[in-house]
Structure formats: C-alpha cells, structure tokens
Amino acid sequence: MKSETVWSLISTGVAIAAGVAARNSARKAYEHKIGKPPMDPYDPDVKWRHALLWGATTGVMVGVARIVGRRAGSEAIRRARGYRRTRKMLER
C-alpha cells in the first residue's frame, strides 16, 4: 500500500472520530442544558421545527469537527514527513 493511501486513511479516520465526538458532545450538552436526552427527529410526535433545529445544529458541529480533524491529520502527516511550510504555501 502506498504511503499516501495510508496517510489518507489515517486522516479520514481522524475526521470520522472527530465527527462522532462532536455528535456525542452535542447530545451531552443538550442533556446537560435541557435535563433530558434530545428527541428522536424521526419520531412523528416531534415538531418539524425541533427536528430541523437539531439536525442543523448537529450537522454544523459534525461538519466543523470533521474539517478540523482532517486538517489536524494532514498537518500531522506533513510534520511526520518532515515538510515545512514554505512562503508559497502560506500565500494561498
């Protein structure tokens, strides 16, 4: 297996783990703030407003966490390979 493929898999794994952690954090924050677990957005008794708000909130949190995770993973890969940021990279 090519080293780029391995590093890509590691970076993807870090991004997925960050997304799962963000989703669990959102659930725990909701439970802490409201005092009960979040409602299932697929439950027909849940209002559309609540389902959409929960979906949007967790979607944004997971998306941001995945981007941060992937960037952190790629930065770790870059450092492990001994690459340094050049002026050209910083100007992008």
Looking at residue 91, what is its pLDDT?
59
Looking at residue 85, what is its pLDDT?
61
List of the chain residues with pLDDT < 50: none
Looking at residue 87, what is its pLDDT?
54
Nearest to 54 by CA among 67, 68, 69, 37: 37
* Chain centroid to CA 29: 16
Using the CB atoms, write b or e for 18-41: b if 16+ within 10 Å.
bbeebeeebeeebeeeeeeebeee
- Taking the C-alpha atoms of residue 62 and residue 10, their distance in angstroms, rounded to an integer, is 18
Residues contacting residue 12 through CB under 8 Å, at least 6 positions apart = 70, 73
Looking at residue 15, what is its pLDDT?
81
pTM above 0.85, yes or no: no
CB 58 within 8 A of CB 66: no
